[in-house]
């Protein structure tokens, strides 16, 4: 299969051109030194981050993932999740172990899905154990030729995608205890505190007088970042693939897997300005250019910035209002949902739990269990981690973090197959049913926050709900919603292809050596 766009590779940073929506995506090991430290990574196309996959609203995506991994110190199988895409009628293409068995080395799998009604900023990543922490992650952008905000910006292309990630000098599977990143990478480049001070930093070029739609994507495994650009303010217009009314701020705290679009007016003096992404864990600050990149006005010297600045107006989640159809589903009071679920988040003996149960990936994906005829939560595995949800109902989830907020928190939770309305965000004491922010990843905040979300069950299938700190997911921080299980295989759903049926027998036959990473996922 030929790519729809040329993929050019950089020996240091990420891809120089986008690909898609019909493309091959080779998964390969590559030695790279994005922060000056050389190690082998698991990559999409040989770069950190992987190439930007692009398409238009309504497109058919056909992405042929080819597993060419050979470094057995890390996992050799893989699966790819298309983060934020609803996968309506194609639940089998969601990419999590809930929905498929992994792709074994020397095999491939074609993800074939449509994106009706979705445009915005998304991303893709491995959904096998902690593999994406070893590099397998990249942005996915769906453009809308009829974007209602087209008149607000002049430039929106590959050059305006900004990825934030954490970089580890040891393979993720070798990290013992709390994972502390060695460096922050912005668009695949960065520096670590004790490393070479001349390691290249990412440079984003702008022309004075133009307006840019920047798409900020946290592809982090763990830390959240406070993002800012010296001497510039932002007008935020999109949150996790959902258009919102414009809000002005000069910084944003962005959690793992969250995305924002903001418009930046290049209205400052022609010069170089620091782009900053201060992490919540690891080495904070900006000494010798750590946690930094460069905004360079065309005509400015090829030099590092000398600017200084401290943001004073951080974006507040409570100020964000969806552009289209604002308001939570259900009646606008605390008892207005059809079903209420209180999720007690816990930690015990090194494992994270939800309502007292650690999630352990089943040997048979939940979707395959459903197709095979198991329809009730009591029948579906893993026991205690599958919750049945009826179709066409308003679901209200409350996250009780009283015992875990201080253990690696705040914890960002992601729901597959949906976005949701955050009727009580972190830091709020009141509920907002009329104009809550709408997104697909939410910070569960501090020990007393009781963050609460609502969503409508209009997408049949098994869907993962999990902490997007990948090390916490590996330690059990997840559940599965079996949404309208009886409808997940009903007419109108695209049946899984034969290649999907073949994934499990191939994967189940692998030896520990063929699994790699010390014998495969540990949980």
Q: Which residues are catalytic?
A: 81, 83, 125, 127, 411, 414, 416, 466-469, 472, 477
Q: Report the C-alpha gap between 493 and 55 in whole angstroms.
A: 23
* Spatial CA neighbour of 117 closest among 155, 144, 81: 144
Question: Encoding tokens for residue 148?
Answer: 């209602």
Q: Report the C-alpha gap between 138 and 39 in whole angstroms.
A: 19
DSSP code of 198? T
**Which residue do the tokens 């089943």 mark?**
362
DSSP code of 494? P
Question: Encoding tokens for residue 269?
Answer: 């003096």
Question: Which H or E element spans position 226?
Answer: strand 225-229
* CA distances for 175 relative to 115, 168, 444, angstroms: 37, 9, 25
Neighbours of 154 (CB within 10 A): 15
Q: Report the C-alpha gap between 294 and 191 in whole angstroms.
A: 13
Residue 470 sits at the vertex; the CA angle it makes with 468 and 476, to the nearest 5 degrees, is: 90
Question: Encoding tokens for residue 481?
Answer: 């919603």
**Which residue do the tokens 């915005």 mark?**
120
Q: Report the C-alpha gap between 520 and 79 in whole angstroms.
A: 13
Q: Report the C-alpha gap between 41 and 378 in whole angstroms.
A: 40
Q: Report the C-alpha gap between 206 and 146 in whole angstroms.
A: 24
3-state secondary structure at position 83: strand
Strands of 22-32's sheet in order across: 39-44, 22-32, 60-67, 108-114
* CA distances for 341 relative to 355, 387, 413, 452, angstroms: 10, 10, 15, 10
Q: Quick check: bond before 271 cis, omega within 30?
A: no
Q: Report the C-alpha gap between 158 and 181 in whole angstroms.
A: 27
Contact assessment for residue 172 and residue 182, using Cβ atoms and an 8 Å cutoff:
no
Question: Which H or E element spans position 278?
Answer: strand 272-279
Phi, psi of 92 (to 5 degrees): -65, -15
């Amino acid at each position: 299969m030929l790519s729809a766009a040329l993929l050019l590779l950089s020996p240091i940073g990420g891809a120089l051109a986008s690909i898609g929506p019909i493309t091959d995506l080779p998964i390969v090991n590559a030695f790279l030194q994005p922060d000056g430290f050389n190690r082998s990574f698991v990559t999409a196309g040989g770069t950190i981050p992987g190439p930007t996959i692009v398409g238009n609203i309504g497109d058919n995506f056909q992405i042929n993932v080819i597993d060419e991994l050979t470094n057995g110190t890390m996992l050799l199988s893989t699966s790819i999740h298309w983060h934020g895409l609803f996968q309506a009628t194609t639940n089998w293409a969601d990419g999590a172990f809930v929905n498929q068995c992994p792709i074994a080395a020397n095999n491939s799998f074609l993800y074939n899905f449509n994106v009706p009604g979705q445009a915005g900023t998304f991303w893709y990543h491995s959904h096998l154990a902690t593999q994406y922490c070893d590099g397998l992650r990249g942005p996915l952008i769906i453009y809308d030729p009829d974007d209602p905000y087209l008149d607000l910006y002049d430039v929106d292309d590959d050059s305006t995608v900004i990825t934030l990630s954490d970089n580890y000098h040891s393979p993720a599977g070798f990290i013992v205890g709390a994972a502390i990143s060695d460096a922050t990478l912005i668009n695949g480049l960065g520096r670590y505190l004790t490393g070479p001070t001349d390691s290249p930093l990412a440079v984003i070029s702008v022309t004075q007088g133009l307006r840019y739609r920047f798409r900020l994507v946290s592809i982090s495994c763990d830390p959240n970042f406070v993002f800012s650009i010296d001497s510039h303010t932002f007008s935020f217009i999109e949150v996790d693939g959902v258009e919102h009314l414009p809000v002005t701020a000069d910084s944003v705290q962005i959690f793992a897997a969250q995305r924002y679009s903001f418009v930046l007016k290049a209205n400052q003096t022609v010069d170089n300005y620091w782009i900053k992404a201060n992490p919540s864990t690891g080495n904070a600050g900006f000494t010798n250019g750590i946690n930094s990149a460069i905004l360079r006005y065309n005509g400015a010297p090829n030099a590092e910035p000398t600017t200084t600045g401290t943001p004073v107006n951080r974006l507040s989640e409570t100020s964000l209002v969806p552009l289209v159809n604002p308001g939570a589903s259900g009646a606008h009071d605390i008892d207005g949902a059809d079903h209420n679920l209180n999720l007690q988040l816990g930690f015990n003996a090194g494992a994270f739990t939800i309502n007292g149960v650690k999630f352990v990936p089943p040997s048979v994906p939940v979707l395959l269990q459903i197709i095979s005829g198991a329809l009730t939560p009591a029948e579906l595995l893993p026991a205690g981690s599958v919750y049945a949800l009826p179709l066409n109902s308003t679901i209200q989830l409350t996250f009780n973090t009283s015992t875990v907020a201080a253990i690696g928190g705040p914890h960002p939770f992601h729901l597959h197959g949906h976005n949701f309305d955050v009727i009580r965000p972190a830091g709020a004491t009141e509920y907002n049913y009329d104009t809550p922010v709408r997104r697909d990843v939410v910070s569960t905040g501090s020990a007393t926050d009781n963050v609460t979300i609502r969503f409508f069950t209009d997408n049949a299938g098994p869907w993962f709900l999990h902490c997007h700190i990948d090390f916490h997911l590996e330690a059990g921080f997840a559940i599965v919603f079996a949404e309208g299980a009886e409808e997940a295989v009903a007419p109108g759903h695209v049946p899984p292809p034969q290649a999907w049926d073949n994934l499990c027998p191939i994967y189940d036959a692998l030896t520990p050596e063929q699994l790699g990473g010390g014998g495969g996922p540990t949980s």
